[in-house]
């Protein structure tokens, strides 16, 4: 059920753009168990009824990552999907990185879709503890995903992922469960950094970086998928981390710290 990817936290982010988007075809990937990635139909009727609103806030970043609209034109993705130079020249452009544009409602059977352009990289971090970026975009989709900023659901909670693997139309991971990082997994991380991450075994693939991870009970976005090392995928927590602080500050109109 797991599609394993070398974690972006362990490689230079500009050596392998977007953790597998622009690498040679020989870049290693593996499916562990059955491949349960399922194309999301344009009418979304192939999804459980409770999940059918969630894809409306998920988009494809042109460089080959997945993004999520959380309201007010604010978009979350993985930090390794955007430039890390500060201050950010021209808002979203970099001499070493392409323009950041987003395609919305890009689903199986869709003939039309909407687009947004990045106006500003509000905040981003690429470290052992956090892999996230918060962007401001123009013409966001009408639907905004509800994001959890406070409470972390417990280990064992059912979760799910929507993503654009390999720049394909939106796909659904099916269901898996939230897990703490096993003690022998990524042992190079210190105890403090480990608390900002969690593990999961929902199907992902290159291009799933930045994808929203949803708690299927609350239907809130609780994490940002960023990579993995067999047999686990890893994600950055949103509640009570640098991510939640960045979102709150942006909603208040405060500058990034």
Domains and CATH numbers, the chain: 2-252 (2.40.10.120)
Q: What is the pLDDT of residue 158?
A: 98
Give the strands of the sheet with 232-237, arranged side by side: 38-39, 171-177, 158-163, 212-215, 221-229, 232-237, 197-200
Identify the pLDDT of residue 1: 44
CA dist., res. 106 & res. 166, Å (int): 13
d(CA 41, CA 28) in angstroms, rounded, equals: 29
* Tens-digit pLDDT string for the chain (257 aa): 433 333 343 333 323 333 433 332 223 343 445 788 999 999 999 999 999 999 999 999 999 999 999 999 999 999 999 988 776 666 787 666 667 899 999 998 887 889 999 999 999 999 999 999 999 999 999 999 999 999 999 999 999 999 999 999 999 999 999 999 988 888 889 999 999 999 999 999 888 999 999 999 999 999 999 987 778 899 999 999 999 999 999 999 887 66
Determine the Cα–Cα distance for residues 120 and 82; give it in Å rounded to an integer.
11
Cβ atoms within 10 Å of 45's Cβ, excluding its own: 9
Residue 26 burial by Cβ neighbours in a 10 Å radius (0-12, 13-18, 19+): exposed
pTM of the complete model: 0.88
Structure tokens belonging to residue 6:
């070398």
Through-space distance between the first and last CA atoms of the chain, rounded to whole angstroms: 38
Residue from 236, 247, 207, 197 nearest 69 by CA? 247
In this prediction, residue 88 carries a pLDDT of 67
């Amino acid at each position: 059920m797991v599609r394993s990817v070398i974690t972006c936290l362990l490689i230079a982010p500009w050596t392998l753009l977007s953790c597998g988007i622009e690498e040679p075809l020989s870049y290693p990937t593996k499916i562990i168990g059955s491949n349960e990635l399922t194309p999301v139909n344009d009418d979304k009727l192939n999804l459980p009824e409770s999940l059918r609103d969630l894809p409306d806030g998920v988009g494809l970043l042109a460089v080959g990552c997945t993004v999520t609209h959380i309201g007010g034109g604010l978009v979350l993705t993985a930090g390794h999907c955007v430039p890390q130079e500060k201050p950010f020249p021209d808002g979203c452009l970099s001499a070493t990185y392409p323009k950041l544009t987003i395609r919305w409602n890009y689903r199986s059977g869709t003939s039309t879709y909407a687009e947004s352009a990045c106006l500003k990289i509000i905040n981003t971090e690429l470290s052992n503890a956090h892999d996230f970026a918060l962007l401001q975009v123009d013409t966001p989709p009408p639907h905004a995903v509800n994001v959890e900023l406070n409470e972390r659901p417990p280990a064992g909670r059912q979760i799910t992922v929507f993503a654009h693997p390999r720049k394909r139309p939106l796909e659904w991971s099916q269901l898996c469960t939230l897990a703490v990082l096993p003690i022998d997994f990524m042992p190079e991380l210190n105890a403090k950094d480990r608390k900002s991450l969690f593990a999961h075994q929902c199907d992902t693939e290159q291009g799933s970086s930045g994808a929203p991870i949803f708690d299927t009970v609350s239907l809130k976005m609780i994490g940002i998928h960023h990579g993995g090392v067999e047999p686990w995928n890893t994600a950055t927590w949103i509640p009570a981390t640098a991510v939640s602080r960045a979102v709150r500050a942006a909603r208040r109109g405060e500058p990034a710290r």
